[in-house]
Amino acid sequence: MKRIFVPLLGELGDRAALDAAGKLLAASGGFVDARVLRRDPRDVLPIVGEGFGAAMIDEVMAAAEKGSQEQAAKARKNFDEWATAAGANVGAAPGAEGLSATFGELVGPVPGVEVAAERVSDVVICARAPRDVSPDRAALLEVAVMEAGRPVIVVPDAELESIATTILVAWNGSAEAARAVSMAMPLLLQAGKVVVVTVDDGDVSADPEPLADTLRANGVKAEAVKATMDKAGVAATLEVEAGKQKADLILIGAYSHSRVREFVMGGVTDDALTEGSVPMMLAR
């Protein structure tokens, strides 16, 4: 994987996502495409409503523009600090030797304006969105998973020691899980260890060994494990198993159950986007 897209919002999570991108490309080099996402101030006009005079509308527009500029300035600061620390070659084009990066901005509806850039990248990296804390980031993550057509890595709001050196593959036999494995093959081949884990959740209990066999046949250092589900759920079980295996990335197929069921009952995808201390890579 040589091109990573990192959407920036001028928040603490910007630096965590950039740090993860830098570490993922540290060994082989690659390009980080970092863009701050800014709403067009004109987008506030439909919610202003009737009864507002021209002067009041101008005031609302000016406030929206000021907020957008402040957000962009914070994102730029986060990017510059990361690039200096990582030794990134800022401004170099994709394909340059070593770690390169560019900073830009996308103005338009958030989420949505970023999807085209995500689709021409190998992977998208964003910090997790804790429940009721970061609605913009939560929306970005969901749109990326559903519409980008690329794998999405979500990371905690903290600098990581490493990422993707040992990968836990959550295997439930679903089409989504199979596609996630296919999309992640470049990382699986590079990893020092890959553990295929099946969690019996009372609904699906797949056999991890055939997939491990296939991965080994393709040159992946893979092994198989069956895990008993923790009372806290599948995602918590995967976190526990990741700790046992010293895994620094968990790969899952996103929305193996319907999105309605995930919304009503909760699910692994929802938990991955909002909770946990281990980075997760989602694909569907």
Helix H segments across the chain?
A: 12-25, 45-48, 54-86, 115-119, 135-147, 175-183, 185-190, 209-217, 234-245, 259-265, 268-274
CATH of 166-283, picked from 3.40.630.30, 3.40.50.620, 3.10.20.30, 3.30.830.10, is 3.40.50.620
* Per-residue pLDDT tens digits for 240-272: 999 999 999 999 998 865 443 343 334 678 777
> Which residues does residue 194 pair with via DSSP β-bridges, in sequence order?
167, 222
Same fold, 3-155 and 166-283: yes
The b-or-e profile of 259-269 (16+ CB within 10 A means b, else e) is eeebeeeebbb
Q: Residue 255 has which token pair?
A: 């929305």
Which residue from 160, 141, 158 is spatially nearest to 282, judged by alpha carbons? Answer: 141
- The span from the CA of 43 to the CA of 58, in Å, is 13
Q: What is the pTM of this model?
A: 0.90
**Cis status, amide bond into 111, omega within 30 of 0:** yes
Q: Which sequence spans correspond to the domains of the chain?
A: 3-155, 166-283
- Give the total residue count for the chain: 284
> Which is it for strands 89-90 and 30-38: parallel, antiparallel or unpaired?
unpaired
Q: Identify the pLDDT of residue 130.
A: 77
Q: What is the CATH number of domain 3-155?
A: 3.40.50.620
* Per-residue pLDDT tens digits for 68-124: 899 999 999 999 999 999 999 999 989 999 999 999 999 999 999 999 999 999 999
